[in-house]
Structure 1
Amino acid sequence: MEHLKALLIKFVMLTAVLWIVLTVAFGVSLLNTLLVSAVLTAAAYVLGDLLIFRKSGKDQEHQKRNLIATFSDMVLAFAVIWLMGEALFSNDTNILSASLISAILIAGGEWYFHKYIDKNVFYVKESGESITGNADYTS
């Protein structure tokens, strides 16, 4: 259930950023924005959150794991938006600029999202033990 809630939060966050950047600023259709959001949510959750964030660095090195995963999410977001943009968006859309702006804003949100999932998804509340660490962030 916690993974489903985290996926929903991630989808809403990505959709909000992409709606502002792609639809409002660059004139991409809402349907294309939703499609990119759905694909990016699935890819970023599996690759960035479940694989890279959980596996990079030691369990107690929250900041290091968060930095690596956030950078990976930024690169993945840029690549997915750019590649899907090439296939879906009109030729007059500046896809590289839209991808770069979106990726930078998404990375900012991902920094806080990783803190959320470390505390609420990867932390086993019943036993008090963490799957990835103690979930104690100092900053």
Structure 2
Amino acid sequence: MNHLKALLVKFVVIALVLFIVLTLIFKVPFMDTLWISLATTVLAYLLGDLGIFKMAGRPDEFTKRNGLAAVADLLLSFLVIWLMARSLTGDDDNMFWPAALSALAITGGEWLFFHKFVDREVFNRPGKDLAGERSRR
């Protein structure tokens, strides 16, 4: 159940970022944005969060795991968004910057908030709250 909650949170954030960047700014059709959001969510969660973030270091090495997972999120998000946007819209030339901007925004959210949420809610590890204090669960 915690995985579903994490996937839902991740999907909502990614869909919101992509809606703003792709649909509102760069006029990508809304349904294309939803498909890109879904693919990015699933791949990034499986590879980035359950793979790299969970396995990149010891449980107490949050900073190391967070940094490595954020780099992976940036690269993976960019590639998925760029390739899918090019494929779905047929616009081979103009999807680089929308994908780069979207990937940067998504990665910022992952690095600042989502990995802490996953550590606490999915992996059941006490972590630092937003004020930097150790939380006990």
TM-score by length of 2: 0.89
Runs of 4+ in 1 over 2 A off after TM superposition: 90-93, 135-139
Residue 136 (structure 1) aligns with: 127
Q: Is the 8 A contact 1:10 1:41 kept in 2?
A: yes
Q: Partner amino acid for 2:23? A: T
Q: Partner amino acid for 1:45? A: Y
Q: Is the 8 A contact 1:74 1:103 kept in 2?
A: yes
Deviation at 1:137, TM superposition (A): 2.2
Alignment RMSD (CA, Å): 1.4
Gaps of 5+ in 2: 133-137
2:70 & 2:92 partners in 1: Cα distance?
30
Q: Partner amino acid for 2:107? A: A
Residue 82 (structure 2) aligns with: 82
Q: Partner amino acid for 1:57? A: G
Residue 127 (structure 1) aligns with: none
Residue 103 (structure 1) aligns with: 103
Residue 122 (structure 1) aligns with: 123
TM-score by length of 1: 0.88
1:90 & 1:29 partners in 2: Cα distance?
12
Aligned residues: 129
